[in-house]
A and B are shown apart, each in its own frame.
Chain A
Amino acid sequence: MQSGTFHTSYAGDMALRPYWVQRLRIALVLIAVLTFPWFADRYWLNLANTIAIAAIGAIGLNILVGYTGQISIGHGGFLAVGAYTAGLLAARLDAPMWVTIPVASGFTALVGAFFGLPSVRLKGLYLAIATLAAQEIIIWLLTHGKLLGIGESLTLPQAANNLFGFPLSALGNNDFAFYWVTVGFLILTVVFVSNLFRSRTGRAFVAIRDQDIAAQVIGVDLFRYKLLAFATSSFFAGLAGALTAHYRSIISWERFTIDTSILYLAMIIIGGLGSVSGSIYGAAFMTLLPALLSNLARAISGVVPDINTYLPYIQQGAFGLAIVLFLIFEPEGIVKMWRNVKDYFRLWPFSY
Chain B
Amino acid sequence: MEKFVQLTLSGVANGAIFALVALGFVLIYKSSDVINFAQGELLLIGAYLTYTTVEMIGLWWPLGVIVAVALAALVGVLIEQMVLRPLIGEPVISVIMVTIGLSSLLRAIIGAIWGVTPRTAPQFLPRDTIALFGASVSVDRLWAFALALTLFALLTLFFRYSREGIAMRAVADDQQAALSMGISVKKVWAVAWAIAAVTASVGGILLMSIFGGVSGQIARVGLLVFPVVILGGLDSIPGAIVGGLIIGLLQSFAGGYLPPELGMGEVAPFIILLFILLIRPYGLYGQRIIERV
Contacts and interface: CB of A to CB of B under 8 A. Distances in A.
A265 B108 CA distance: 19
A262 to B, nearest CB: 5
Contacts of B266: 136, 140
A313 B111 contact: yes
Interface residues of A, number: 48
Interface stretch (B5-13, B68-76, B203-211, B268-276): B268-276
B267 to A, nearest CB: 4
Given A213-B293, A265-B100, A320 B111 contact: no
B226 to A, nearest CB: 5
Interface in A305-352: 310, 312-317, 319-324, 327-328, 331
SS of A interface (majority):
helix
B271 A137 contact: yes
A319 B230 contact: no
Interface in A192-243: 212-213, 216, 222
Nearest to A136: B270
B263 interface: yes
A294 to B, nearest CB: 15
Interface string B215-231: 00000000100110010
A326 to B, nearest CB: 8
Contacts of B97: 265-266, 269, 323, 327
Interface stretch (A50-58, A87-95, A127-135): A127-135
Interface residues of B, number: 43
A7 interface: no
Contact of A71 (B96, B263, B267, B274): B96
B273 A71 contact: no
A133 B108 contact: no
Contact of A136 (B104, B261, B267, B292): B267
A30 B98 CA distance: 35
A202 B281 CA distance: 29
Contact of B101 (A133, A212, A322): A322
A316 B92 contact: no
A126 interface: yes
A323 B92 contact: no
Contacts of B107: 316, 320
Contacts of B102: 320, 324
Interface in B59-117: 83, 86-87, 90, 92-94, 96-98, 100-109, 111-112
Interface in A256-272: 258, 262, 265-266, 269
A140 B261 CA distance: 12
Contact of A316 (B104, B226, B262): B104
20 contacts: A71-B96, A120-B293, A121-B277, A122-B290, A125-B35, A125-B96, A126-B230, A126-B277, A128-B93, A133-B227, A133-B273, A133-B274, A134-B274, A136-B270, A265-B97, A266-B101, A269-B94, A319-B101, A319-B108, A324-B83
Interface of B: 35, 83, 86-87, 90, 92-94, 96-98, 100-109, 111-112, 223, 226-227, 230, 261-263, 266-267, 270-271, 273-274, 277-278, 281, 290-293
